Amino acid sequence: MTALPEIVTQAWEQREGPAVLATVDAASVPNAIYATCVRLVGADTLVVADNFFNKTRANILAGSQAALLFITKEGKAYQVKGRIEYHTAGPVFDEMKQWNPAKLPGHAAAALKVEQVFAGGEQLA
């Protein structure tokens, strides 16, 4: 795992709108979703609440890597790539249940472990 560079951690605090989470299926067909319930956990993990995953859940369970794209209020885009884990119990899941809105189901917590980080086309980590 790789820690997010300081500039990306600061950008995360200035993000605007939903993030985009992308995965691929076993045949390499991509799938992208808007993710509104996302948190930075520690320096190297982004957790997305599975409130309404379908294809995304199947892709993660099949071993897909993932990419999460977000934009700042200033319009700068950042992309984080890495392996993604699916938690239906345990500490990651329990923490997600604390911040995920109670009106949403929170079936699981998808934890993206940072391996690569980009600002636009520039690789930062």
pLDDT in tens, 11-24: 999 999 999 999 99
Domain-located, residue 115: yes
pLDDT confidence band for 69 (50 / 70 / 90): very high
Here the tokens at position 40 are 């930075």
Asked whether residue 1 is assigned to any structural domain, the reply reads no
Specify the CATH number for the domain of residue 55: 2.30.110.10
pTM of the model: 0.96
Residue 94 lies in a domain: yes
Mean pLDDT of 81-90: 98
- Domain count for the chain, please give it: 1
Range of the domain at 115: 6-123
